[in-house]
Structure 1
Amino acid sequence: MTLSRRIARVLLDSPLPQLDRLFDYALPAELGDVPLGVRVRVPLRTAGRVVDGYVVELDSEDDADRPLSEVESVVSTVPVLPDQLHRLARRVADRAAGSESDILRLVIPKRQVRVEKSWTGDSAPLVPADSALTAADRVIATYDGLSDVLGDGGRAAVEAIPVAHEDARGWAALLASAAARTLGDGRSSILVVPDHRDLDRLLSALDGAGIPPETVVRYDSRQTNPERYRAFLRSLEDAPCIVVGNRSSVYAPVRAGLVAVWDDGDPLLGEPLAPYVNARDAALIRQEQEESALLFVGHTRTTDVERLVARGWLRDVRAARRVLPRVVLSTPQEMEQPTAQRMPSSAFLSARSAAAEGPVLVQVSRPGFAPSLVCAECRAPARCPHCGGPLGAKHRGAVPVCGWCGRGARAWSCPVCSSTKLRLASSGSERTADELGKAFPGIRVIVADSAHPVERVADKPALVVATRGAEPIADGGYRAVVLLDGPRMLQAPDLRIGEACLRWWSNAAALAAPGAPVHLVGVDGGVARALATWTQSAYARAELAERAPLHMPPAARVALVEGTAASVARGLAALDELALPADAVLGPVPVESDDYPPRVRALVRFDYGAGARVAATLRAAVVAEAVNTRRGKGRSARSALTVRLDILDPEL
């Protein structure tokens, strides 16, 4: 009779791609019962060291079958990696050709012993009062079909009503109401927002919706390590809760009945760390796995979401009674009039009359005084003589300072005409406030940008000059909104710049008071028409139609393959078996860097149906190159081959 021994299959917490799999370890008897999902310490035979890991599976086998290393210790008995989180992280990593441990590193905080010892894990289930649920149902009823989506675990793209934040129909109130209804049904919710400003607004809406504060769990980068770990432990409990946070909160280990993402076009929802997964893609995978309700809410519609709507994957949900801002277009022809400098007369007169009654918002593209300078003689851009960065000025007569290295350029001379005189070529938020302050005598001027954050302004006469995304909330809404620098914004070298501008302008227009004018200055064409008629989804459809023949995202998926010439060639050769179209691969082309050996880069375009096969093939190539490097066949400070799927558009 053969004896059996216990086996633990452990996922190592390691960034090495060749270690992204489960390893078998023997569980010694002295460790006792080891639950699934706990942290353990295990030896790495080849490295001669001990690393952290998570117990994913438990099994047993005969002692004599094979030699196995033993689990050294159990770090904690708290199961921080439940099965649903492991399966979600594995699927997300496989889709992005990345490592599961890289996903888990974003989700599971570092252990805090004091917090863990004080955690009981038995919070009492709480539900909102009947009056709060009734109020939530009224808000949900203002959107056609939203109640059915929440009740049936459906998927929807929701066009938020563009009203002031305090209005009970605003986007924050909508998410709070959906979460309250889900909590009333005994299920948890995950509400994902891009930044701390949206997070604070949503927390305020949850408080106003009558939701018990004990059920609200905040996931926020501003939290301390103990606060983050305490919030994570609360989300492990069986009692339903509402998780509110930034992009990583989409992985919260709750049994979600609702996942809602606000403003999915915001680049802050894209993870800057490997494997670079957008919260939108993780939410889609999670909904498919858990069959929870899924909402993408926004004032605009991204091409990614519109593609899913067109394919019938998402339901198009709109308000039963649409409330549209009053958008006034100031065309480029109007800007050419002699009296129009930066703001046409119609927008100027509207802003001046509105400023006598309450706050007026003026949106600009850039912060600072003069972010860019040019030669006063030949108009050549002024660049830093040390690094080539753009020179800017903090105020009139100030020493030019490089925007990249921060060095002053006291003795600057133009390399084209040798002139030493500079001219202010652009107006930032501070220069705009200075100029408008002279044109609006007696009116308080408020600057809101990254250097001067302002969360809220009172319902009093004021002129608020804000950069895009930094607009404060106005009590009662702005009496007028003026959107400047539109042509400059649209000139950015970005495939989605029209989409991004429409999102910036729509979010600013939503801050206006009912009936207040919204002036878009100097822009015409499809983007301006979409804002004026509030048909952002139609603009997204038109963008998709233009990108489809070019196989550009999101009509197709794109992978970036970078490494040495030999490693990239081997990685691309592995794709030959997939029978991709002849024009699927673009490149490779050299990468400008000081690395040796030189690195090259290639793009691979493929349909969504081939995504799993392409990701698996490229991941296998990355692992093969990593193993070869480890064996001494190549030595480099950087990985011989790196792969990134669904890259950001500027990198195209």
Structure 2
Amino acid sequence: MTAGDVGGSRAIARVAVDTPLPQLDRLFDYAIPRELADQVVPGVRVKAPLRTAGRVIEGFVVEVATESDAERALSEIEQVVSAARVLPERLHRLARAVADRAAGSLSDVLRLAIPRRMVRVEKAWLAADPAAPPVPTAEARDRAARVLSAFPDLDERIAAGERLAVDAPPGVSAGLPAWTALLAAAATTTLARGASAVIAVPDHRDLDLLEQALRDLAPSDAIVRHDAQQSGPERYAGYLRTLEDAPCIVIGNRSAVYAPVPRLGLLALWDDGDSLLEEPLAPYVHARDVALVRQSADGGALLFAGHTRTSDVERLVAIGYAHDCPATRRASPRVVLGAPQDTPQTGRIPSASFRAAREALERGPVLVQVARPGYAPTLVCAECRAPARCLTCGGPLHATGRGATPVCTRCAREARGWMCRSCESTRVRLASSGSERTADELGRAFPGVRVIVADGAHPVSEVDDEPALVIATRGAEPLPAGGYAMVLLLDGDRMLQAPELRIGESCLRWWSNAAALAAPDAPVHLVGVTGPVARALATWTQPAYARTQLAERAPLRMPPAARVARVDGDAEVVEAALDRLRADVPALDDEAILGPVPLDDIADRRRSRALVRVDYAHGRDVAQSLRASVVQAAMASRSRSRRREPGSGRVRPPGNTLAVRFDLVEPDL
């Protein structure tokens, strides 16, 4: 018997099943057994049979409804996994909107938002009393107000729920970068108003710094850390805390934007141009886009902060969807544009920068930013200058040290007996300098000076104020106690040569973040770079550079001037999806679709890829059409997998016949 069989009606549960199959991305109706009538409520985990798969599958109850047709054949829910209501309606609404916008599945988004269940943690949480609302002290509120006073009406605009683009102040104070004080103050004032704040940052280093700044202002029981490096129980306990009515401050990486706090007062993103905020898993939604969807649904303020301005945020400012919030006093580093090498004695460093570094070393540490780690990341033939390639796999060769045998970066084989395929020379030449080679060269140029290497292989989190040469790759710069006495930016011309659409934006962000670590009045030397990017850094006008980038991409319909989706899969399926798209969205013109172009064949299947460039007004319709094609292709593939190939006696695997990735940051055809 099911519950509620009265007067020809009955209660049913609508369940979102946890499955990656796109054809099952919908709510399923299940009858509620009488013995589970009190336990089946919206948000709980349940187990239910799935007829198409012939097995029991987990899912979440989205809603409980009453239907009048009590005779309709429905399967019954088999088990309520837990009484914890881990999928509140606000999170389901957000996940559904994000999935629909990106032509993805609800279950894929929920896997990013809801951590794996930990039974002991959940039982302890269910048995505990609700947390009391945390309140910042009066002293903490005053300190936070003083920090926010550097930006006119910032606190009032956050309280009003505006969307804001803030250029964070550069500098280091009390061992912490200035931007951490800004975000911590904004979160603390939000908490004082009885609302929750959610702050997403790119990596664990930023997260550690932000948490340290928050510990000085907000109550410790109000801070919830959401970090992929946490253990399963820690992460699940933090998630359960965000479900409570008591406000909190959630800090974490890209998935923190999904934290289902009940009263959202502030949603902030730090450095949204960092690639770590791009989700590498389906449906590949950037944290910035999730934040925009969430703020439009849940309200609260949305804050984009950084030392640079991405063209994506600048587009929002240009159309009036977000508002610029400049500081009262403009603080910027003193940037000097240096010419390339002008004397043989100074190597890659111009003589003026060399002298400035020597003088700065008398006051404190000097930061030298380089493009790549290692000793010599690139080798070329000493005779013809052709790239040195591995004779086994064709991968590029690199040197691990002075006089070391070249090693392949792909297969890790030593290139003993190497010979150039172009001129048959047996000698190689160092074509680039990594962090270790730069440290070797500068160590000999500045004898007696301490040299510190900071890169992926040599992580260094902070340095003291004693004189030292700190050689760091971009993004790995250690935090100085009181700011660097000088910042020297090398390899800028090499960085700008990367074949990427946003390489100018990326370089400006790398250089600005490094320059922001300089002490007040300390020089910042950018070597060998001219043009708009260098001028934007020298004048500290990053938003203006973002505007020029946006204007240049508009005629090409490249992101963020337009939304771009990549469609790849079996050639005939891609063609069918594009034909359906043209029929479903007749507003698309002939130039909206690029391709398809052929890719490498897989087994007996021809693969192809296409790009779809669409205005934001038609993005929803395009996403719906492409999603329908993905579902249709998945169903057809499943049907084929059940049929045996003639004469082979085996079943053909379904394969990935069609895949869609929306809102590409870097389109690749």
Q: 1:61 maps to what in 2? A: 67
Q: Tell me, yes or no, if structure 1 residue 429 matches structure 2 residue 429.
A: no
Match among 244, 253, 271 for residue 237 of structure 1? 244
Aligned partners of 2:533 and 2:93: how far apart in 1?
41
Counterpart in 1 of 2:648?
Answer: none
Matched residue, 1:172: 180
Q: CA deviation at 1:650?
A: 5.5
Indicate if the aligned counterparts of 1:179 and 1:189 stay in contact, CA closer than 8 A.
Answer: yes
Matches within 5 A, 1:522-541: 522-541=528-547
Residue of structure 1 in register with 2:226 after alignment? 219
User: Offset of 1:604 from its aligned partner?
Assistant: 0.6
Report what 1:509 is aligned to: 515
In the alignment, the residues of structure 1 paired with residue 492 and residue 429 of structure 2 have an alpha-carbon distance, to the nearest angstrom, of: 22
Q: Read off the aligned partner of 1:644 and give its amino acid letter.
A: R
2:324 and 2:190 mapped to 1: Cα distance?
20
Alignment-derived partner of residue 605 in structure 1: 613
The question of 1:485 aligning with 2:485 is answered: no
1:302-331 Cα deviation digits (max 9, x unpaired): 000000000011110111011110000013
Aligned pairs for 1:243-262 within 5 A: 243-255=250-262, 256-262=264-270
Q: Deviations over 1:12-54 (max 9, x none)?
A: 1111100110000111011131221110011111211111100
**Counterpart for residue 182 of structure 1:** 190
Which residues in structure 2 correspond to 1:53-452 (within 5 Å)? 53-62=59-68, 64-119=70-125, 120=128, 122-166=130-174, 170-209=178-217, 211-255=218-262, 256-332=264-340, 335-336=341-342, 341-452=347-458
Q: Distance in 2 between matches of 1:22 and 1:150?
A: 37
Q: Report the equivalent of 2:659.
A: 642
TM-fit CA distance, 1:103: 0.6
Are 1:494 and 2:500 an aligned pair? yes
Q: Matches of 1:233 and 1:273 in 2, distance apart?
A: 23
Contact 1:378 1:417 in 2 (8 A): yes
2 CA distance for matches of 1:648 and 1:7? Answer: 42
State which of 24, 29, 35 in structure 1 corresponds to 2:34: 29
CA contact (8 A) 1:188 1:257 kept: yes
Q: Distance in 1 between matches of 2:579 and 2:69?
A: 43
Whole-angstrom CA distance in 1 between matches of 2:71 and 2:628: 29
Report the 3-state secondary structure (helix = DSSP H, G, I; strand = E; otherwise coil) of the residue aligned with 1:24.
strand
1:510-545 Cα shifts (integer Å, max 9, x gaps):
000000000000000000000000000000100111
After alignment, is 371-380 or 189-198 more displaced? Answer: 371-380
- 1:593 and 1:553 mapped to 2: Cα distance? 29
1:202-253 Cα shifts (integer Å, max 9, x gaps): 00110122x1111100000110001111111111111000000000000001
Match of 2:172, SS state, is coil
Q: Spell out, residue by residue over 1:136-168, the C-alpha distance to the aligned partner (whole angstroms, 9 max, x if none).
A: 111111112312221100000000011115388
Structure 2 distance, partners of 1:127, 1:25, is 44
d(CA) in 1 for partners of 2:37, 2:595? 56
Note the C-alpha offset of 1:411: 2.2
Amino acid at match of 1:115: V
- Could you tell me how far apart the structure 1 residues matched to 2:606 and 2:497 are? 32
Q: Say whether the 8 Å CA contact 2:16–2:28 is kept in structure 1.
A: yes
Confirm whether residue 626 of structure 1 aligns to residue 643 of structure 2. no
Retained in 2: the 8 A contact 1:258–1:293? yes
Tell me whether 1:651 sits opposite 2:668 in the alignment.
Answer: yes
Match of 2:25 in 1: 20
CA deviations over 1:240-292 (Å, ceiling 9, x no partner): 00000000000001021100000000000000000000000000011100111
| Equivalent residues of 1:92, 1:285 under 8 A apart | yes
Task: Give the distance between the partners of 1:190 and 1:126, measured in 2 at CA.
Answer: 15
1:459 alignment partner in structure 2: 465
Q: 2:173 & 2:271 partners in 1: Cα distance?
A: 15
User: 2:452, 2:385 → 1: CA distance?
Assistant: 31
Q: Does the Cα contact within 8 Å between 1:140 and 1:174 map onto a contact in 2?
A: yes
Once the two structures are overlaid, the 10-residue window that deviates more, 191-200 or 157-166, is 157-166
Instruction: Report whether the alignment pairs 1:9 with 2:14.
Output: yes
CA distance in 2, matches of 1:484, 1:19: 52
- Work out the CA distance in 2 between the residues paired with 1:437 and 1:278: 41
- Determine the C-alpha separation between the residues in 1 that align with 2:133 and 2:446: 55
Match of 1:5, as an amino acid? R
Q: Per-residue CA shift, 1:117-146, capped at 9, x if unaligned?
A: 111250111110011101111111111231
Superposed CA deviations along residues 155-204 of structure 1, whole A, max 9, x for unmatched, are: 00000011115388811000000000000000100010000000001001
C-alpha displacement at 1:490, in angstroms? 0.2
Deviation at 1:640, TM superposition (A): 1.1
Identity among equivalent pairs (%): 62
- In 1, distance between residues paired with 2:70 and 2:272? 54
8 Å CA contact 2:486–2:523 kept in 1: the answer is yes
Count of equivalent residues: 649
Q: SS at the partner of 1:651?
A: coil
Q: Bigger shift: 589-598 or 407-416?
A: 589-598
- What's 2:649 paired with? none
Q: Which amino acid aligns with 2:32?
A: L
SS in structure 1 opposite 2:121? helix
Paired residue type of 1:134: D
CA RMSD, Structure 1 to Structure 2 (Å)? 1.4
Q: Is the 8 A contact 1:493 1:650 kept in 2?
A: no
Distance 1:167 1:432, change over 3 A: closer
Contact in 2 for aligned 1:121/1:234 (Cα 8 Å) = no
Q: CA deviation at 1:339?
A: 5.2
CA distance in 2, matches of 1:595, 1:424: 41
Task: Out of 389-398 and 432-441, give the one that drifted further.
Answer: 389-398
Q: Any unmatched runs of 5+ in structure 2?
A: 1-5, 644-651
CA distance in 1, matches of 2:157, 2:80: 43
How far the C-alpha of 1:383 sits from its partner, in A, is: 1.2
Distance 2:177 2:503 in 1: 29
Are the aligned partners of 1:301 and 1:536 in contact in 2 as well (CA < 8 Å)? Answer: yes
Measured in 2, the distance between the counterparts of 1:91 and 1:386 equals: 49
Q: Which moved more, 1:416-425 or 1:472-481?
A: 416-425
Please report how far the alpha carbon of residue 336 of structure 1 lies from its aligned counterpart in structure 2 after TM superposition.
4.9
The structure-2 alpha-carbon separation of the partners of 1:644 and 1:169, relative to structure 1 and needing over 3 Å to count, comes to closer
CA distance in 1, matches of 2:456, 2:408: 18
CA contact (8 A) 2:175 2:481 kept: no
Aligned equivalents of 1:165, 1:220: Cα separation in 2 = 25
**Does structure 2 conserve the Cα–Cα contact (< 8 Å) formed by 1:303 and 1:540?**
yes
- Cα distance in structure 2, aligned partners of 1:516 and 1:265: 26
Return closer, same or farther for 1:582/1:169 CA change in 2, 3 Å cut-off. Answer: same
* Greater Cα shift, 71-80 or 53-62: 53-62
Q: Please give the secondary structure, in 2, of the residue aligned with 1:631.
A: helix
Separation in 2, partners of 1:108, 1:91: 16
Q: Please give the TM-score of this superposition, normalised by the length of structure 1.
A: 0.97
1:585 counterpart (588, 593, 612): 593
